[in-house]
Amino acid sequence: MALFDKSSNPTVRDSIFKNAVGTGYSTETMTVKGTVVKTFILLFLAVFAASYTWSLHVSQMSSWMIGGLIAGFVLAIVIVFAPKTAPYLAPVYALAEGLALGAISSLYNQAFAELFPGIVTTAVAITLLTALVMLFCYQTGLIRVTNKLRATIVVALVSVMIFYAAIMLLSLFKVPGLAMFYAGSSLGSIAISVVITIVAALCLLLDFDFIERGSQSGAPKYLEWYGAFSLMVTLVWLYLEILRLLSKIANR
């Protein structure tokens, strides 16, 4: 089935570099090293922007957080549907996400100053450790990215997206039951967060696979930025879910 040929990460699609190869867009081709460098550039920009909103007063954070989230979402949609814009928009996306993440992280840090001191530092450390573990598993072949694995993660990711959509729709129609359950610290809510975190971690494998196969297939150079952008999307999602999970554990 065609669905099983796609990556679980909605920003990572085989068709992107398959369609790009041989188009003559650029004589330079995508490399793993180039993608890694660009990933670090995006992460640096995100951390730089986050350091600004982190230091703001609570009353000033909301506008930056909402603005960053909206801008990041719009830019992500544009990049996904127009990958050639990635070299120009991915850095802007990183800055927008950084502004939002800085504010969100600061709010968590203040809210859990007594219950879980250092919750943000812990979440960052776990995110980085998870990324390194998944990279190790991918590089050593401990976990092989097969069509079956892709299909499994597709199903899991779609389920997560449906769950997120259900929460938003029910909240919009003032039926907050599911949202309150997910935001709570019950064992069921924690279990759901664990499952979502695992799905996010598995998406890293498919990001790595996309980058490697893109470089092997002679994809154009601009897809290095797209690969870096896709990897950052997954890392941001993973970090936020880990932060949410730690907060639930702390509230028990």
- Would you state the pLDDT for residue 124? 96
Inside any domain, residue 129: yes
- Would you state the pLDDT for residue 6? 39
- Would you state the pLDDT for residue 194? 95
- Would you state the pLDDT for residue 4? 30
Give CA–CA dist 129/45, Å, rounded: 20
Domain of residue 152, residue span: 28-251
pTM (predicted TM-score): 0.88
- Would you state the pLDDT for residue 16? 63
Inside any domain, residue 21: no
- Would you state the pLDDT for residue 8? 40
Low-confidence ranges of the chain (pLDDT < 50): 1-8, 24
CA distances from residue 152 to 64, 126, 146, 148, 160 in whole angstroms, order as listed:
37, 24, 10, 6, 13
- Would you state the pLDDT for residue 182? 82
- Would you state the pLDDT for residue 57? 85
What does R_g of the chain's alpha carbons equal in angstroms?
18
Inside any domain, residue 18: no
The total number of structural domains in the chain stands at: 1
Angle at 16 between CA 14 and CA 18, to 5 degrees: 70
Inside any domain, residue 73: yes
Angle at 76 between CA 94 and CA 175, to 5 degrees: 110
Inside any domain, residue 8: no
| Residue 237: how many other CB atoms lie within 10 Å | 19
Inside any domain, residue 2: no
Inside any domain, residue 15: no
Inside any domain, residue 122: yes
